[in-house]
Copies of this chain bind each other. A is one copy, B any other.
Amino acid sequence: MKSYSKYIWFNTKKKQEFINITPEVEIALRESRIKEGLCLVNAMHITASVFINDDEQGLHRDFELWLDNLVPSSVRYKHNLTGEDNARAHLKRTILGRGVVVAVTQGRLDFGPWEQIFYGEFDGQRRKRVLIKIVGD
């Protein structure tokens, strides 16, 4: 069994941002030389997500508005009493998820027609990491 690890860094301009990281994951997969196995991609910070969906700007705006609604700004979050201001980012990341596991088949990400991998930042404007871990043969 082979394994390969790669860390990619982000420092988004906006507090909240969705970035298509499929090309970076494909590069890591080629570097790994793994042909059959599993590829884990996860945020290493607890106010960010890695998720799979469509690369469509309108849908991403729908995600943002929907999450704003599901995690209301009107609540007085206890986490923010510790001096933090990112309680909502923790909850929003919970909805989109910490990470994804993708099958690797014949040296490629085994994806359906519209699947793309996104980094979802909810508390940006500082350096944060994503881990790509590929195991297989």
B-contacting residues of A (Cβ < 8 Å)?
1, 3, 5, 36-38, 40, 42-46, 51-54, 56-59, 61-63, 65-66, 70-71, 75, 77-82, 87, 90-91, 94-103, 105, 110-115, 129, 131, 133, 135-137
Contact residue among B57, B59, B129 (Cβ-Cβ distance under 8 Å from A90): B59
CA distance A47 to B68 in the complex (A): 21
B110 touching A52 by the CB < 8 A rule?
no
Interchain residue pairs with CB less than 8 A apart (16)? A1-B136, A3-B36, A37-B135, A38-B40, A42-B102, A44-B113, A45-B112, A45-B114, A46-B114, A51-B98, A58-B77, A66-B75, A99-B101, A103-B131, A103-B133, A110-B133
